[in-house]
Amino acid sequence: MESAPVKASCPDCRLSELCLPYGLHRDEVKQLAGIVKNQQLLQTDGVLYAQGGKSLHLYAVKSGSFRSFILNADGLEQTIGFYLPGEIMGLDALQHGRFSSSCVALETSSVCELPLSRLNSLCSEIPGLQMQMMRILGKEIASDHDKILLLGHRTARERIATFLLMLSRRFSALGFSNTVFNLSMRRQDIANFLGLTIETVSRQLAELSRQGIITVKQRVIHINDLAMLTLIVEPCANQQQATA
Amino acid sequence: MESAPVKASCPDCRLSELCLPYGLHRDEVKQLAGIVKNQQLLQTDGVLYAQGGKSLHLYAVKSGSFRSFILNADGLEQTIGFYLPGEIMGLDALQHGRFSSSCVALETSSVCELPLSRLNSLCSEIPGLQMQMMRILGKEIASDHDKILLLGHRTARERIATFLLMLSRRFSALGFSNTVFNLSMRRQDIANFLGLTIETVSRQLAELSRQGIITVKQRVIHINDLAMLTLIVEPCANQQQATA
DNA sequence: CGTGACTTTGATCAACTTCAAGCTACGTGG
DNA sequence: CCACGTAGCTTGAAGTTGATCAAAGTCACG
């Protein structure tokens, strides 16, 4: 399916502008590439790291996608987020050196390993890298806040719409289509992420489909009316548009 | 009520072990204190920073408490979190240099201002400070994940119990009682934070009170049965305890 | 072609919201 | 010192949304 892991090479990686090297000079990127360990390849459901485990690395998604989740006291999962190429995983372990969540591959995927100790040293040497680390951490925090917003005060319909738009934007940033994409996660994962049941997710997707806003064919989503989907997420923008 | 802002002095601050100076050597703490700007004093509802505003500082709570929230597209608030003394605010602006949330004082409160530029430089010089920054950011992320967990799959009763326990632990860490404390936030803020309505919050508090688990007198909460409150949050711990 | 995982659809039910009214504490001015 | 007004909180009754329970449908893969 894929050859043995190759030595990572940030300067040649097409994701470098979305990933850790963003904003660094050419020679600094090379320095960074020097500490990146060989890529690790995972099959579907392969565990990248497990809650409670010791953290020695951060991980950058090289290809494929991942799902992170927390096991609560009852042993039930709460999906915390999905990771696409260029995104950094394992940040929640920076607090105590142990992962407070688990992370599994949703499909055949690969990651670049970033040893924390060497990354920390390099941050001291390269101010731009430290800046970028801060940006990435700030982004993770801001994105978690969006999730809190999503789960706090949104209807099932709004949650689904937000979820689809969120993916649309991220695929778009990766250079893929923002209207046609393939969900790598199961309905169960979506439901769990959105704080809903699979039945509700299924019904809401069916409803959006019935209204012609999207077309659903298994895991393939086709967004027919991006504007309408946006209106669902921002009801009051409706009025604003009416006056504009 | 309080005298004019005084020059911050981390080495003498009783919060230093909970705040940014944690883990630093004596002389490093002094260096840090050197960049901390004068404290800023805010009255109830005073705005520390506003969503969209440019970020030049991080803020550490010196006294009092704060509430951060996001205004969504409809103009409705979602409370993201509450901050107690020693906690760092303004981290979500690290992404783009602009605040993605607003922050207001819940009571007469004071903060220490940490200029980002000087903090960054100092991080390069003091590895321990950079470590602590990472820890603080990791903690923020982990705590946001707990909030996602809370909002995703919890009943109203479990949310209230979790909220009370969360405050109990934080007050305890500050050296205050973990069973008797004063809520600085209104019911509206609690409801909004937990993704509920004020009526539901009121009813759940009344129910817990009726069962003798807590006593509510306006904003004063008395936890009578901490173990029972914990059981509400971790239903299956019930069974585990039964076998132990 | 059959098995199992995943998904969809339908009917019923419970939890939480909404709407409405009354209560409590607190501050202000007469 | 007390009447009044207001903001915040509580309580009750009715209404919705999404969960739960149950069954059938679809797809992938051996």
Query: How many Å apart are CA A190 and CA B53, to the nearest integer?
Result: 33
Strand C atom within 7 Å of B153 CB: no
From the CA of A199, how many Å to the C1' of D9?
37
pLDDT(B1) > 70: no
Record the pTM.
Answer: 0.90
Residue with tokens 């002095």: B9
From the CA of A36, how many Å to the C1' of D29?
38
What does the domain layout of chain B look like in residue ranges? 10-141, 154-243
Over range B143-163, report the average pLDDT: 95
Reported as a single tens digit per residue, the pLDDT across B207-236 is 999 999 999 998 999 999 999 999 999 876
Of A117, A121, A113, A141, the closest CA to residue A20 belongs to A113
Query: How many Å apart are CA A113 and CA A131, to the nearest integer?
Result: 20
Query: How many Å apart are CA A159 and CA A164, to the nearest integer?
Result: 9
Check residue A212 and give its pLDDT: 94
End-to-end CA distance of chain B: 51
Query: How many Å apart are CA A25 and CA A31, to the nearest integer?
Result: 10
Reported as a single tens digit per residue, the pLDDT across A133-155 is 999 999 999 999 999 999 998 99
- The fold of B10-141 is Jelly Rolls (2.60.120)
Average pLDDT across chain B, whole number: 91
Which residue type does B67 have? R
Identity of the residue in B74, B141, B148 whose CB atom sits nearest the CB atom of A236: B74
Residues with CB under 7 A from strand D: A 155-157, 195-197, 199-200, 218; B 186-188, 198-199, 201-203, 205-206, 216, 218-219
Identity of the residue in B75, B145, B233 whose CB atom sits nearest the CB atom of A92: B145
Alpha helical stretches, state H, chain B: 26-35, 116-125, 127-152, 156-173, 187-194, 198-210, 226-233, 237-243
| Nucleotide minimizing C1' to CA distance for residue B203 | D10
In the structure, what pLDDT confidence band is assigned to residue A39 with cuts at 50, 70 and 90? Answer: confident
From the CA of A81, how many Å to the C1' of D18?
22
The CATH number assigned to the domain with range A10-151 reads: 2.60.120.10
Could you count the other beta carbons within 10 Å of the beta carbon of residue A186? 13
Taking contacts as CB-CB distances below 8 angstroms, the residues of chain A near B134 are 94, 120, 137
Over range B172-187, report the average pLDDT: 95
Reported as a single tens digit per residue, the pLDDT across B60-73 is 999 999 999 999 87
State the maximum Cα–Cα separation within chain A, in Å, rounded to a whole number: 58
Candidates 2.170.120.30, 1.10.3210.10, 3.30.360.10, 1.10.10.10; correct CATH number of A154-243? 1.10.10.10
Taking contacts as CB-CB distances below 8 angstroms, the residues of chain A near B197 are none
Q: What are phi and psi of B28, to 5 degrees?
A: -70, -40
